[in-house]
Every structure is written in C-alpha cells, then in structure tokens.
C-alpha cells in the first residue's frame, strides 16, 4: 500500500511473511550511486540499534533500484501532529512534548557518540521524527543524505529544501557535521514548544522566521507567550525556560559554542529532576518572582550575547549578523 510520496522517495507500507509491518522506501534519483558504496553505507545504518531510532531491517539493490526496509512506526510523524488538523486542543501535552524532545536527543546522542564511525543525521526535522502509540519518538532517515551523496545537486536541493533547520555555517562551507544536527535539533525544540514551523510565510513580518521571532520574544521577557496555544496546559515556568534555554544554546550561530547532544540530555534531565513536582495545570505561574527572574535572565542574557549586544568577544554587531542570517534563511 502506498503511504506517501515526498522527499527522498516513495514510502510504501508492507507486511512481511511473518506478519511484521514494514515501511519500504524506494529511493529516487540514485543514479551514480555505486552498488558497493551503497551496500557499505546501508550496512553501517543497519547495525544501529536504539529505542529512539527507526530500525533498518533490510535493503534491496537491483539494477538502478535502491530500496530500504524499515520497521513500521504506526502513529505518524511529529510534523503531522504539530501542524496537521488536530482540532483546538493538541493531544501532545507538555509531558509528551518533553518526552519527544528527550527521546530525540537520546537517539541523536547515540548516532554522534555511541557509534564508530559516528553517524551525522544531516536532516533532523519534524517529519523525520516518527511516533509510536505511546508517543515515543523514533528518529528516521539518519545517514540517508550521505547515502545519496553521489547525486550532489540532488542532495543540495534536498537539504536546502528543509533550510529552516539548516545551520548557518552550512550555507558558507557546505559542510555538515554533528554540530549542524545540534542546530537543527534546537529548531526542533522551538517548533515543539511553539507549534510553529521553522519558516512560515503566512505569519506577519518579524514572525516568519521562528528563531528570530523566538529570540525577540525571549529577549523581551515574553517567554510565556511563545507556547503553542493548542497545548492543553501551560508548562511550569522553570521547565519552559529551561527548554528554551537549551534550544537557544543549540542554535548558537557559533557552532563551537553549541552543546554536544550528551550535554543536552544532561540539561534536560536535570530539569526533570528539579522541576518534576512543580508541574501545574492552569496557566498561572507557579514560581516565586525571584526564580522567575533567574530563569528568564539566563535565556534573555543568552539572546543578547548571541546577537553580539554588550559583549566584546564578537566582531559582528547585531545588525550585521541579522542581515547576514536573513539572506541565508529566506
């Protein structure tokens, strides 16, 4: 049965002889991909096992055909749940969203630090985050951009096609490494918190670009206002601020200042322990004014620092960087 035709190829749903449900991806535009090179790459991907990564079960190489057989993940992708027609109230509660963020971080950390050679995803975005019935996140399509690398222009178009997630240095160097994944992950956190797409031309000017808008909001101490209006309950203020802080660190324009995924997990889990009891139903803040100021201050300070305000360690002023970035983003 045909599932969907987008991006890298056509995805079919299938059932194996033993009843296992699978997703079969027929890769398009693979001309030039040598058979041996393809097999080597696929075998690396096929060895990867992690509960937050979609498992590759097999592949097929025949003439010009290249197919990949994945475990079937049966609850759609995150893009559909965030931006699709889900009604007034999203089924994705704050806890579920936090869990999706954490699970995705764990999957990526494993790709970056748990494997030799390391695997860089290169296309982290909400449609590549699949969900099971318990809302566990499963990262799909890792290693695929590399697999298709011989089709250079194709890959370039593909990556630029999801440019709302692409790290700024990519535009300059064309190089993607794990810090570019961290950047895309930061965008993903912002998308999960706000329910907004990374680039949305239907928004008023100043809100089209999610990072820019969110930085402005946090910089103006309006963090509570970035939360997805479809969220059934407001998160505890500290938990929200922490998640925003992590997201902002991940999208640091300077790739060397972005945290590693392991550190991201650490920051998110520390948040979990500290603030678990502070979750609130209802939209009133549950914190003291002092705590609020502290958490808010950290994120606000970071925004100002990243944009070069009031710091001497950067040669580029805010307007310079903003112009530079908008050329790349739009």
Ligand X SMILES: Nc1ncnc2c1ncn2[C@@H]1O[C@H](COP(=O)(O)OP(=O)(O)OP(=O)(O)O)[C@@H](O)[C@H]1O
Active site residue 271: no
**DSSP codes joined into one string, 65-123:** EEEEEEE--TT-BHHHHHHS---SS-S--HHHHHHHHHHHHHHHHHHHHSSSS----S-
The nearer residue to ligand X, 11 or 239, going by C-beta atoms, is 11
Q: Which one among 24, 45, 56, 73 touches ligand X, defined by CB under 6 A?
A: 73
Residue 221 — left, alpha, or beta (φ > 0 → left; ψ -120 to 50 → alpha)?
left
Binding status of residue 159 toward Mg ion by CB under 5 A: no
Residue in 85, 123, 228, 272 annotated catalytic: 123
Binding status of residue 141 toward Mg ion by CB under 5 A: yes
Q: Which residues, including other chains, have CB under 8 Å from residue 226's CB and lie 6 or more apart?
A: 193, 194, 213, 214, 217, 218, 244
Q: Considering only residues 9-38, where is the footprint of ligand X by CB under 6 A?
A: 9, 11, 23
Residue 73, contacted partner among ligand X, Mg ion, none, CB below 5-8 A by kind: ligand X
Q: Please identify, among the stretches 4-12, 42-50, 56-64, 284-292, the one whose residues bind ligand X according to the rule CB under 6 A.
A: 4-12
The nearer residue to ligand X, 138 or 249, going by C-beta atoms, is 138
First to last CA, the chain: 37
Looking at beta carbons, which residue is closest to ligand X? 7
* CA 276 to the chain's CA centroid: 24
Minimum distance between the CB of residue 196 and ligand X, rounded to whole angstroms? 18
Q: Please identify, among the stretches 120-128, 204-212, 217-225, 301-309, the one whose residues bind ligand X according to the rule CB under 6 A.
A: 120-128
Q: 27, 154 in Cβ contact below 8 A?
A: no
Q: Please identify, among the stretches 3-11, 183-191, 207-215, 224-232, the one whose residues bind ligand X according to the rule CB under 6 A.
A: 3-11
The nearer residue to Mg ion, 29 or 93, going by C-beta atoms, is 29
Q: 86, 108 in Cβ contact below 8 A?
A: no
**DSSP state for residue 33 in the 8-state scheme:** -
Binding status of residue 223 toward ligand X by CB under 6 A: no
Binding status of residue 128 toward Mg ion by CB under 5 A: yes
Neighbours of 36 (CB within 10 A): 9
Sign of torsion, CA 215 96 111 75? negative
Q: Which of 300, 292, 104 is nearest to 192 (CA)?
A: 104
Contacts with Mg ion, residue ranges (CB under 5 A) = 128, 141
Contacts with ligand X, residue ranges (CB under 6 A) = 3-4, 6-9, 11, 23, 54, 70, 72-73, 76-77, 123, 127-128, 130, 140-141
Active-site residues, by number, are 123
């Amino acid at each position: 049965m045909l599932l969907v035709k987008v991006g890298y190829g056509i995805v079919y749903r299938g059932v194996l002889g033993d009843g296992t449900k699978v997703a079969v991806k027929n890769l398009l535009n693979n001309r030039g991909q040598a058979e041996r090179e393809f097999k080597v790459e696929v075998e690396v991907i096929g060895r990867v096992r992690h509960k937050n990564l979609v498992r590759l079960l097999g592949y097929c190489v025949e003439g010009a055909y290249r197919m990949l057989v994945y475990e079937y993940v049966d609850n759609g992708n995150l893009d559909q749940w965030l931006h699709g027609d889900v009604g007034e109230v999203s089924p994705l509660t704050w806890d579920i969203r936090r869990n999706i963020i954490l699970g995705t971080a764990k999957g990526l950390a494993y790709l970056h630090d748990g494997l030799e050679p390391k695997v860089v995803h290169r296309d982290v975005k909400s449609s590549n985050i699949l969900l099971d019935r318990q809302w566990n996140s499963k990262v799909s399509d890792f290693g695929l951009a590399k697999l298709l690398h011989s089709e250079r222009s194709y890959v370039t178009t593909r990556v630029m096609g999801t440019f709302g997630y692409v790290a700024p240095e990519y535009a300059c160097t064309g190089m993607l490494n794990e810090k570019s994944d961290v950047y895309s992950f930061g965008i993903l956190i912002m998308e999960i918190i706000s329910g907004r797409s990374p680039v949305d031309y239907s928004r008023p000017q100043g809100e089209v670009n999610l990072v820019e808008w969110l930085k402005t909001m946090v910089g103006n101490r309006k963090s509570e206002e970035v939360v997805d209006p479809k969220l059934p309950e407001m998160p505890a203020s500290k938990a929200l601020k922490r998640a925003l802080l992590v997201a902002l660190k991940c999208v640091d324009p300077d790739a060397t200042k972005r945290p590693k995924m392991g550190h991201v997990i650490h920051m998110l889990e520390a948040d979990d322990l500290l603030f678990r009891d502070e979750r609130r139903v209802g939209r009133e803040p549950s914190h003291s004014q002092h705590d609020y100021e502290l958490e808010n201050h950290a994120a606000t300070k970071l925004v100002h620092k990243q944009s070069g305000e009031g710091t001497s360690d950067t040669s580029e002023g805010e307007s310079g960087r903003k112009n530079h970035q908008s050329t790349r983003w739009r």
